[in-house]
Amino acid sequence: MTGTITCLNCGNAFTGNYCSNCGEKVLHDHDKTIAHFLEDGVHFITHFEGKFFTTLKTIFRWPGKLSVDYCRGVRQPYFKPLSFFLMIVILYLLFPRFQGLNMTLAGHMGQGPTYGAYATAKVEQYLQHHPGTTIQQLAEKFAKKSEKTSKILLFIIIPFTALPLWLMAFKRRKYYYEHLVLSTEINAFFLLFGFLIFPLILAGWDMLGRWLKVPNHQLADMWLGIVAYTTFAIFTATALKRFYQYKWKYNLAILLVMLAIHILIIYFVYKFILFITIFALL
Ligand SMILES: [Zn+2]
């Protein structure tokens, strides 16, 4: 029989194996074996890996479930959504081959109706103030800064995506926080699938085609875009349905508005902020 224990870490009195206040574990003699010492070291890695793959599997198999569980208080089996998003960004940073949403200086200047003219004016202004610099040199400097910044800046798409979700569904979920959680899950899938998994599948396809010497094995860009976006739409529809539990018709309406706004966020809001940020860093 174990009676009341005083926690060695925080002084709280409790019963059981873990402190009810701070979570400190009660040490027994069998915790002090060499085997246990080694086990403790490996535990961190296996624990980390287990949670990572559970989170990954949940997102892909049951879109929206991670957010539902996280908001109602089932958190132990998973990575925190924002930590999961951070992991994806780190994966991105580790593999510079994945371009993701990075864009060249010329790309920004070519952003037709939105901020293209603004970007062009900024570039001209910069060249006037730095008479020794050519536009090619500026473009190179810009690309160097953009490679990492474009990835770290991906975090800003989360609050922007949560905004329309909150506006359209504020009656279903009380806290902005909850829409932020769902937004994190949706954007984690968006990045993971659209900018890591899908490009990998395409690269594999390309290698296979070249290896088998199939003529014209390359797929048309337009169709790739349609496939990638349809997958994202199906994911988002399922996640919205599970999270807000709207009837299908209303769910579809929310989906369409949400996708339209998401495109605006990714291709204009994010890229514009990226452009200003890099220019400020130059
Ligand atoms: Zn304690």
**Based on the domain organization, do 200 and 69 belong to the same domain?**
yes
**Based on the domain organization, do 115 and 212 belong to the same domain?**
yes
**Based on the domain organization, do 48 and 27 belong to the same domain?**
no
**Based on the domain organization, do 26 and 75 belong to the same domain?**
no
State the average pLDDT for the chain. Answer: 89
Confidence of residue 97 (pLDDT cuts 50, 70, 90): low
Q: Looking at the domain assignment, is residue 245 inside a domain?
A: yes
Distance CA 213, CA 16 (A): 66
The least confident of 94-108, 112-126, 223-237 is: 94-108
Token pair of 25, please?
Answer: 């574990």
Q: Looking at the domain assignment, is residue 225 inside a domain?
A: yes
Q: Looking at the domain assignment, is residue 101 inside a domain?
A: yes
Three-class DSSP category at 166: helix
Q: Quote the pLDDT of residue 1.
A: 45
Taking the chain, what is the end-to-end CA distance rounded to the nearest angstrom?
Answer: 67
**Based on the domain organization, do 75 and 194 belong to the same domain?**
yes
Distance CA 24, CA 95 (A): 38
**Based on the domain organization, do 19 and 120 belong to the same domain?**
no
Q: Which residues contact 93 (CB under 8 A, 6 or more apart)?
A: 148, 151, 152
Q: Looking at the domain assignment, is residue 37 inside a domain?
A: no
Q: Which carries the bigger pLDDT value, residue 161 or residue 201? A: 161
- Distance, CA 18 to ligand 1 centroid (Å)? 8
Sign of the torsion formed by the C-alpha atoms of 43, 71, 61 and 192: negative
Domain that holds residue 184: 42-281
Confidence of residue 202 (pLDDT cuts 50, 70, 90): confident
Q: Which carries the bigger pLDDT value, residue 225 or residue 149? A: 149
- Distance, CA 249 to ligand 1 centroid (Å)? 51
Q: Looking at the domain assignment, is residue 177 inside a domain?
A: yes
Q: Which carries the bigger pLDDT value, residue 30 or residue 72? A: 72
**Based on the domain organization, do 85 and 27 belong to the same domain?**
no
Q: Looking at the domain assignment, is residue 105 inside a domain?
A: yes
**Based on the domain organization, do 165 and 269 belong to the same domain?**
yes
**Based on the domain organization, do 261 and 205 belong to the same domain?**
yes
Contact 159, 183 (CB under 8 A): yes
**CB-based neighbours (< 5 A) of ligand 1, an ion:** 7, 9-10, 12, 19, 21-22, 24
Q: Looking at the domain assignment, is residue 203 inside a domain?
A: yes
* Count of domains for the chain: 2
DSSP state string for 105-151: HHHHHT-IIIIIHHHHHHHHHHHHH-TT--HHHHHHHHHHHHHHHHH
Token pair of 108, please?
Answer: 């920004």
